[in-house]
Structure 1
Amino acid sequence: MMTMPDASLLDELAPGAAALAVVEADYNIGPSIEAVDVAAPDDRYGTSWSRLERVLGMPAPYWHPSLRHPDLMTAWTPGAPTLQVPVCITPDPGPLLRLAAEEPDGSHAAAAALELVRRIIADDAQSTHQQIAEHVDGCADIASIAVAARPLMPTPPQGVAEEVLRDGWRAILSRSDVLAEQCARLADYFGSSRYFPGSRKVTVDPDSCPEARLWASRLRPSPRTALATYLCDTAQLEILIDPLTDMPAARAHDGKIETIAPQRLPTVSPLAALTVGKHSVWVRTEDATVFLAPQVGGGYTFGYAGGGPHALAQLIAVLLDDITNAAPGYGDARPPAGLAQATEEGWKGRVSPFTLTRAELQALRDR
């Protein structure tokens, strides 16, 4: 985050000083510096490390934004050796470490939490190391910069099997305590939601189609699990659960239901039909079970060339191939031409909800 110097910051941080220089998070000739003089506090200007050295009479210290521990910065003195400093992680991953420490040996939940923390630390340390090497050590003003700290490089984390991570996060997300909820939010922030059983919020109108009505009828009351943090503020709403997918739901005051789409369906019964509803897509399998379609990215849409129709066509293709396949993402390979043409052009005149059988979907795929 950029912090530009101004008159109020000058008064707060350097009362009685002639000027204030702030090292920004971006780079110009070395790390960018913005300064303001007490004689003209409203006139902010950029300066260089070589000019700053001439004013100070010595190289000024540089602390990478990920290494700015306040106690170490205030204790720094000119000529001090460069410190090896652990990177600062924001938000604090402490809840993940606490959860892992409280789990029994061999716990998949502990393995999932520790994998995320280790990956965050390793990635941030490597990124910090590369930025210092490229933008500080390699800049023309390096002789005027005292690099106060470099990242402490952790041991590269060992890979953890995907099935272990999925099982671990499933266990964490099924809990109803505050620590598990904190870990769920951290995992979502740091990109581990791809291992969740579900992470994409969907709004369902039970009156929009028979499939939605049938799905809503099987929801049952449930404790508020950590996975429910994806839903709207549910503090005052009853939490429900789909007993077939274990996905949480909450009925809003307007009668609509906020839920989470699963990333994959818990069935081996092949796809029999697909219904494109209003703001939701439904899958009926050959054993007559109805599921909210698996989803990981943005919503499924149709009638134009874009990410939503692309994802819908790819969803149809992967479920026709194997009902247990995970939901496609927007960056996946282009779907079969016949399905892409249908979702982008062929269905333009249709009005949701409408249903296509497996045979109809196969015919589109095989065009």
Structure 2
Amino acid sequence: MDDSGEAPWLSQAATGQTAVFDQAECVDGYVVLRWTTSQGGVGLAHSLHDGNGSVRAVTSALHRKHGHRVADRYACVVLAQSAPQTAHPSVPQLVARDIVGEQGDGDQANQYDTTWQRLAAVLGHRPPYWFAALRDRDAITAWRPGAPPAVVPACHVTNPVAALAELAAEEPDGSPAARLCRHLARQIRSRDHAAVTRHISELHQNAAAGGDGAHLVLGAVPTELRREEDRELPEMVRRAGWLAITERRDHLAYRAADVAQRWGAGRDWHTGASATARPTVCPTAHEWAQRLVADDRIQAPTVLEKELLESFSDRRTEVLLQDPVTGVPALYRLGRPGTVYTYALQRLPTHAPLAALILSDTACWIRTEDGMLWFAPEQEGRAVGWGCSGTGCHTLAQLVDRLLDDICAPAMEQQALQPPRGLLDLLRDTPRAGSTTYTRARLIAARTG
């Protein structure tokens, strides 16, 4: 609650009267339903870009839209948020902010928690709530008091599947990209349907027990799923689909990739964790960097290039390059020392056996018997390392143990088996400074010793 010494507007507003519903308006990713009371306007806002949103953001947007007239339209704005994970997990929260008598524009100025019961008392009827998986803009703006819940497909506002459906529609029938996008869209819909169905059931239980959930109505319920659950898509299809998508240069592919990253489907990309090399400091990195070629900056970036630029670009002195062996982009930031940012692969695209492990500067390198250099395969969140007893060294020992037998083995996952003790000890005792090379024979000796 604010510390101005005055009671919040909602606690002072008259109750027992029926407010007049006016209209809905959309501002900067929010839909605001407005009522007129004898003491001023009340707005109930829902975010269309995440489950919660910010009451300060929506009131600021209303200020920009209406200017000095905003206080004539709204005395108070209430933001509906997702249910908390603690005390009452079935009841969505309400955060209010007074516009009349504003004392400042700080993050918490005139902001306070309120209840559905209090808001219902001011409005004279139960206000509506849309779960984040049911926030269809048209359904919210069409709502009127007394209307039955709209029926809309369940799709959380943070995971819109439209880009996946559009990309699948323009692909040839049966292509890996089409199959992947259709499957992923259905997975997201199924998960969101199951989650919102459970949340509605919990809300009904709370209402039946006389909780605060009894003082709201549902603005929407999910459309019934009319299909059986899809079988899991084969890994080869998933990887082929993402390989095709990440090489594209259009905004539809960008949007599909963004959904994938938020959903966690990036694990099926051919690239893994980001990698850093300093060619002016590390001889091995210098050798690798010699094979990089300039990229055509006249073209729009590929999905992978866009990801790299957004993650590491400082928009000053940098050159976008490409590794012609892997097809993975690299961003060279000039300076002292110059630094190259790129991505490790999740699997090495070679059949040449591991010849040596090189630990130099900040990178783990694999040299294969054909003389080629590779960053060690690495998943996001499963970093490899050496010179300590932490998880990075443990992960690298697991990886080396696999690569000695199968150079195409994938980057390590969370459930990997324990590595051989000798390999773990060898990597743990490797100096962090300088450069250390272990031949295949030395690694096998450590593994079996």
Give the shorter-chain TM-score range.
0.7 to 0.9
1:264 deviates by 0.5
SS in structure 2 of the partner of residue 231 of structure 1: helix
Partner of 2:212: 141
1:335 deviates by 2.7
- What amino acid maps onto 1:94 in structure 2? A
Superposed, 1:1-367 pairs within 5 Å as 1-4=52-55, 15=72, 20-27=77-84, 29=88, 30-35=91-96, 44-86=111-153, 87-90=155-158, 92-135=160-203, 137-139=205-207, 140-154=211-225, 155=227, 156-223=229-296, 224-232=301-309, 233=313, 238-254=319-335, 255-298=338-381, 299-329=383-413, 332-344=416-428, 346-347=429-430, 349-367=431-449
Query: Structure 1 vs Structure 2: percent identity of aligned residues?
Result: 36
How many residue pairs align between the two structures? 365
Instruction: Give the TM-score of the pair, scaled to structure 1.
Output: 0.84
1:6 deviates by 10
2:397 touches 2:427 (CA, 8 Å); kept in 1?
A: yes
- What amino acid maps onto 1:271 in structure 2? L
1:261-281 alpha-carbon deviations (Å, 9 max, x no partner): 111111122212100111211
CA distance in 2, matches of 1:182, 1:50: 40
When residues 337 and 14 of structure 1 are mapped into structure 2, their CA distance, relative to the original with a 3 A threshold, is farther
When residues 361 and 6 of structure 1 are mapped into structure 2, their CA distance, relative to the original with a 3 A threshold, is closer
1:323-356 alpha-carbon deviations (Å, 9 max, x no partner): 1101114564443333333334x22x45231111
When residues 33 and 332 of structure 1 are mapped into structure 2, their CA distance, relative to the original with a 3 A threshold, is same
1:164 deviates by 0.7
2:401 touches 2:420 (CA, 8 Å); kept in 1?
A: yes
When residues 247 and 78 of structure 1 are mapped into structure 2, their CA distance, relative to the original with a 3 A threshold, is same
1:273 touches 1:283 (CA, 8 Å); kept in 2?
A: yes
CA distance in 1, matches of 2:258, 2:135: 25
1:17 deviates by 6.2
Instruction: Give the TM-score of the pair, scaled to structure 2.
Output: 0.71
1:69 touches 1:88 (CA, 8 Å); kept in 2?
A: no
1:170 deviates by 1.0
1:200-256 alpha-carbon deviations (Å, 9 max, x no partner): 221222244443333222233445533222323498855433333222223332343
SS in structure 2 of the partner of residue 325 of structure 1: coil
When residues 34 and 222 of structure 1 are mapped into structure 2, their CA distance, relative to the original with a 3 A threshold, is closer
User: RMSD between aligned alpha carbons?
Assistant: 3.2
1:39 deviates by 7.7
| Structure 1 spans left out of the alignment, 5+ residues | none
Instruction: Please identify, of 164-173 and 98-107, the stretch whose mean Cα deviation from structure 2 is larger.
Output: 98-107
| Structure 2 spans left out of the alignment, 5+ residues | 1-51, 103-108
CA distance in 1, matches of 2:277, 2:213: 58
SS in structure 1 of the partner of residue 438 of structure 2: strand
CA distance in 1, matches of 2:250, 2:58: 46
CA distance in 2, matches of 1:18, 1:239: 52
